[in-house]
C-alpha cells in the first residue's frame, strides 16, 4: 500500500457515553466519520457511525462526539449528537451543529462513495486493497483525537448477509485487523483505476478525474465497519485442572456497503 494522504485522519471523530468521558478521553465508546451530502439547497456534513454505538440497546449509548479544534488551548471539543438511525441497517447519523472555521475536521464527499454499479464497472472483488481509519482505543490520543490506519483486503463480496447478534446485514466480508473501538470506522478501497475501467462502462466524474490526474489511482469509500465475525468457542485447560472458554479469532469483519449509507442519508434529507 503506497503512502496515504494525511487528510484522511481528519474525517474521523470519537464517540463516548458522556461529556465527562469525552473530555477525559476515557477508553470507552467507538468511532465515527464525517461525510458531506450535497443537495440543491447546499451541503450538509454528517457524523456517520453504527446504530449499535448510539441507540443504547446493546451497550451504553455513545452519543457524545469528540472532535479536534484549531484552538491550541482547547484542542478538542464535544457535543451530544441529535442521532437518527436506520431501521434496516446498522447505521446512524447526526448533522454537525457548527461551522468548520473553529473545528479541525475534513470530510468525505458522497461522490466518493462506491456504488453498486461501480462494483461491476471497476471490477471490485476478492483481494482488493483496503484501509480503515479509526480509533485504536488502547492508544487513541488524550489531548486530541489521533486516529490510526489499519490495512486489509476484501475476503468475500456481499452475496449473503452477515448475521451478528441475530441480525442479518448486507456486508462485505473483509480481512482486516480490528478490536473494540473501531466500530463505525470508514473502510476505503484503493484501486489502480486505469487498468480497471479501460474499455468498460465506468465513466469518471469530475472528482474521480482530478484524483486520477493528481494521484494516478482511485480511492473510494467501500463502507463502514460494523462487526467482528466471531469464531468457534474452544475450551482451554488451567493448571489446577479447571477449564475456561476462549473464542477463536477469525480476523474477519463485516463492512456495510457505502451505497447503504448514502440511501440512509437521502432518507434523512427528505424527512
Which uninterrupted H or E stretch holds 23?
helix 19-24
156 in any annotated domain: yes
2 in any annotated domain: no
Mean pLDDT of 104-130: 92
Write out the residue range of the structural domain in which residue 177 sits. Answer: 9-269
pLDDT at 142: 86
pLDDT at 241: 67
Could you read off the pLDDT of 49-79 as tens digits, one per residue?
Answer: 999 999 988 788 999 999 999 988 899 999 9
| CATH number of the CATH domain containing 233 | 2.40.10.10
pLDDT at 123: 86
pLDDT at 167: 86
Q: pTM of the entire structure?
A: 0.90
Burial profile 196-219: b = 16 or more Cβ within 10 angstroms, e = fewer: bbeeeebeeeeebeebeeeeeebb
Residue 222 neighbours by CB distance under 10 Å: 26
pLDDT at 180: 87
Examine the pLDDT at 198 and tell me if it is beyond 70: no
Query: Long-range CB contacts (< 8 A, 24+ apart) of 236-243?
Result: none
252 in any annotated domain: yes
149 in any annotated domain: yes
3 in any annotated domain: no
pLDDT at 40: 74
Kindly provide the residue ranges of all beta strands, DSSP E only, lying in the chain, ordered along the sequence.
Answer: 12-16, 30-39, 42-49, 64-68, 76-80, 84-85, 92-95, 108-109, 129-134, 148-156, 162-164, 167-169, 172-176, 186-191, 218-228, 233-237, 243-247, 252-257
Structural domain count of the chain: 1
180 in any annotated domain: yes
1 in any annotated domain: no
The answer to which of 8-12, 14-18, 162-166, 260-264 has the lowest mean pLDDT is: 162-166
Could you read off the pLDDT of 201-258 as tens digits, one per residue?
Answer: 677 777 777 877 777 788 999 999 999 887 766 666 667 667 666 666 778 999 999 9
Mean pLDDT of 250-270: 91
79 in any annotated domain: yes
C-alpha cell at 87: 431501521
Mean model confidence pLDDT for the chain: 88
pLDDT at 244: 63
Amino acid at each position: 500500500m503506497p503512502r496515504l494522504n494525511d487528510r484522511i485522519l481528519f474525517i474521523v471523530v470519537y464517540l463516548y457515553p458522556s461529556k465527562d468521558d469525552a473530555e477525559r478521553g476515557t477508553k470507552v465508546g467507538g468511532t465515527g466519520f464525517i461525510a458531506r451530502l450535497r443537495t440543491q439547497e447546499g451541503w450538509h456534513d454528517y457524523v456517520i457511525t453504527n446504530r449499535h454505538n448510539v441507540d443504547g440497546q446493546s451497550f451504553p449509548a455513545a452519543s457524545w462526539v469528540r472532535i479536534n479544534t484549531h484552538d491550541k488551548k482547547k484542542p478538542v471539543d464535544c457535543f451530544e449528537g441529535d442521532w437518527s438511525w436506520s431501521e434496516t441497517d446498522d447505521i446512524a447519523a447526526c448533522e454537525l451543529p457548527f461551522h468548520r472555521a473553529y473545528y479541525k475536521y475534513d470530510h468525505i464527499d458522497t461522490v466518493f462513495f462506491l456504488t453498486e454499479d461501480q462494483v461491476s464497472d471497476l471490477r471490485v472483488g476478492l483481494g482488493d486493497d483496503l484501509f480503515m481509519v479509526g480509533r485504536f482505543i488502547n492508544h487513541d490520543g488524550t489531548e486530541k483525537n489521533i486516529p490510526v490506519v489499519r490495512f486489509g483486503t476484501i475476503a468475500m463480496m456481499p452475496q449473503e448477509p452477515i448475521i451478528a447478534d441475530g441480525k442479518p446485514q448486507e456486508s462485505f466480508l473483509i480481512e482486516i485487523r480490528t478490536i473494540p473501538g473501531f466500530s463505525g470506522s470508514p473502510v476505503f478501497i484503493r484501486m489502480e483505476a486505469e487498468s480497471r475501467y479501460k474499455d468498460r462502462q465506468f465513466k469518471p466524474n469530475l472528482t474521480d478525474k482530478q484524483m486520477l490526474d493528481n494521484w494516478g489511482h482511485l480511492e473510494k469509500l467501500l463502507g463502514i465497519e460494523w462487526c467482528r465475525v466471531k469464531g468457534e468457542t474452544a475450551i482451554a485447560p488451567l493448571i489446577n485442572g479447571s477449564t475456561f472458554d476462549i473464542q477463536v479469532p477469525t480476523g474477519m469483519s463485516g463492512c456495510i456497503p457505502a451505497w447503504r449509507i448514502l440511501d440512509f442519508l437521502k432518507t434523512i434529507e427528505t424527512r
